[in-house]
């Protein structure tokens, strides 16, 4: 396990992500910034696996990974979204 995956594994186990965010169930539909009051359209699943490795896709069509579990990929995408929102 590389250092990035190890750090994310620690965050997943604690249920906390850097910055005080708490992981949410990915099946929940959470409005994006500017979507309040607007019906949320269908969104595709951003997670996929190849063999035992998990990845996520960005809106830009870039695949990020590999991660050793889907939970690590979920933590990584939440961190990615927070960082690009800055």
Residue-wise pLDDT for 44-69, tens only, equals: 688 999 999 999 998 888 999 999 99
Q: Is residue 19 domain-resident?
A: no
Burial class (CB in 10 A: 0-12, 13-18, 19+), 48: middle
pLDDT-derived band of residue 86, with 50, 70 and 90 as boundaries?
confident
Domain count, the chain: 1
Q: Is residue 82 domain-resident?
A: yes
Q: Is residue 20 domain-resident?
A: no
Q: Is residue 30 domain-resident?
A: no
Name the token pair of 62.
């870039």
Residue-wise pLDDT for 2-24, tens only, equals: 666 666 666 665 555 444 444 44
Segments forming the whole domain that contains residue 76: 1-8+45-86
* 57 CB-near residues (< 8 Å, 6+ apart): 46, 48, 63, 64
Q: Is residue 4 domain-resident?
A: yes
Q: Is residue 38 domain-resident?
A: no
């Amino acid at each position: 396990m590389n250092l990035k995956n190890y750090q994310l594994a620690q965050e997943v186990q604690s249920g906390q992500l850097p910055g005080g965010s708490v992981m949410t169930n990915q099946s929940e539909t959470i409005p994006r910034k500017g979507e309040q009051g607007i019906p949320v359209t269908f969104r595709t699943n951003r997670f996929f696996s190849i063999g035992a490795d998990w990845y996520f896709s960005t809106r830009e069509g870039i695949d990020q990974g590999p991660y050793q579990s889907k939970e690590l990929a979920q933590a990584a995408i939440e961190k990615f979204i927070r960082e690009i929102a800055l």
